[in-house]
Amino acid sequence: MGKVYLVGAGPGDPELLTLKAVKVISEADVILYDRLVSEEVLNYAEPDCKLVYVGKEDGKHTLPQEEINKLLVYYANVYEKVIRLKGGDPFVFGRGGEEALYLKEHGVPYEIVPGVSSIYAVPAYAGIPLTFRGVASSFAVVTGHECTGKEKRIDWRSFKGIDTLVVLMGVRNRQRIARELLEAGRSPEEPVAFVERGTTSEQRVVLSTLKEVASSPPEVKPPAVMVVGEVVRLSVDIGELLENLKELEGVYHA
């Protein structure tokens, strides 16, 4: 019986991988990886490591979760070190908990290797602090998948008093989310940021307001993190500050 490592690959930038993640990836016999795991991350694996793609995207799954669970058990009976590699952190909307429970039920040894989550890393790369003295002293994270339809489990009224909201996987439902937040009592002028492909070279930031997103949502492509709150305004100020520092640094070196 081998051992399964549930590993977080971080939000996209390969330099945000933890040292432990690099270590276990480089020692892996087989890696089952998700759609958002970059080629640069997979390059840490040895050439003879078996790579198995089990990625998912909205409405298109390579394998259902139940089959992925079974594969983990199968490979643990064949190989010594099996890696389940996920974008971000495996225990943050990554079904890592489900996989850990399945492995435990089937007597397979496993270990969790946490990863840097897009919850805070992606806004940070866009210059958006989730908390800021005098502006935001609280934040909440929610998935945008479970906000519509029969399986709706989110009561947006419960987030009325939260200063900053971070919505993952909410691009498809962004207009509905904005409308429900307005109905829950949040300000129409509250700023919203969408950060596409955060922490990568393809990062793109789209700024808007709840009112605008609710009436005419901007064009945004997944994967993207949605941030709602006054801290979004700080991103512009920080961006300008960084540009000014670059100019000053250029003058200084000249």
The residues annotated with a catalytic role in the active site are: 34, 56, 169
Q: Which two tokens stand for residue 35?
A: 């759609």
- Distance of alpha carbon 221 from alpha carbon 72, whole angstroms: 31
Q: Which helix (H) or strand (E) holds 179?
A: helix 174-183
- Report which of 71, 74, 81, 76 is spatially closest to residue 24, judged by C-alpha positions: 81
Signed CA dihedral, 66, 104, 101, 22: sign only: negative
Amino acid making up residue 4: V
Concatenate the DSSP letters of all residues of 65-103 into one string.
HHHHHHHHHHHHTT-SEEEEEESB-TTSSSSHHHHHHHH
**Which residues make Cβ contacts (< 8 Å) with residue 69, sequence separation at least 6?**
98, 99, 102, 103
Q: Which two tokens stand for residue 66?
A: 């139940």
Q: Which two tokens stand for residue 249?
A: 């640094």
Which residue is associated with the tokens 């709602």?
228
Q: How many CB atoms lie within 10 A of CB 236?
A: 15
Which residue is associated with the tokens 């039920």?
105
